[in-house]
Amino acid sequence: MFNRSVCFRGVMSEIPKNKSNTLITVALVLVIVCAVGVLVYTNLPPNDTTPTPSEGINETRVPIMTIRYNTEEKNYTFAEIQAFTVYTGKGGYHKNFAGPGSIQQVGNYTGVAITTLINQLDNLPQNYSINVTSSDGRYMVYNHSAILGNLAIYDSLNELNVDSIGNDNFTMVLAYTFEGEYLNETKDGKLKIAFLNDEGSITASSLWSKFVVSIDVLTE
Instruction: Determine the pLDDT at residue 220.
Output: 79
Assess whether pLDDT exceeds 60 at residue 58: no
Most confident of 16-20, 45-49, 172-176, 185-189: 172-176
**Which residues, at least 6 apart from 170, have a Cβ–Cβ distance to it below 8 Å?**
91, 149, 150, 151, 195, 196, 197, 201, 203
| Spatial distance between the Cα atoms of 211 and 220, rounded to a whole number of angstroms | 25
Q: Has domain 59-219 been given CATH number 3.90.420.10?
A: yes
**In the chain, % of residues over pLDDT 90:** 70
pLDDT 10s digits, 141-163: 999 999 999 999 999 999 999 99
Instruction: Convert 174-188 to b/e letters by CB count within 10 Å (16 or more is b).
Output: bbbebeeeebeeeeb
State phi, psi for 86 to the nearest 5 degrees.
-85, 140
Higher pLDDT, residue 205 or 55 = 205
User: What pTM was computed for the model?
Assistant: 0.72
Hey, where are the domains in the chain?
4-42, 59-219
pLDDT 10s digits, 164-183: 999 999 999 999 999 999 99
Instruction: Determine the pLDDT at residue 61.
Output: 80
Instruction: Determine the pLDDT at residue 132.
Output: 98
Count of helices and strands (H, E) across the chain: 5, 13
Mean pLDDT of 21-32: 59
pLDDT 10s digits, 75-128: 999 999 999 999 999 999 999 899 999 999 999 999 999 999 999 999 999 899
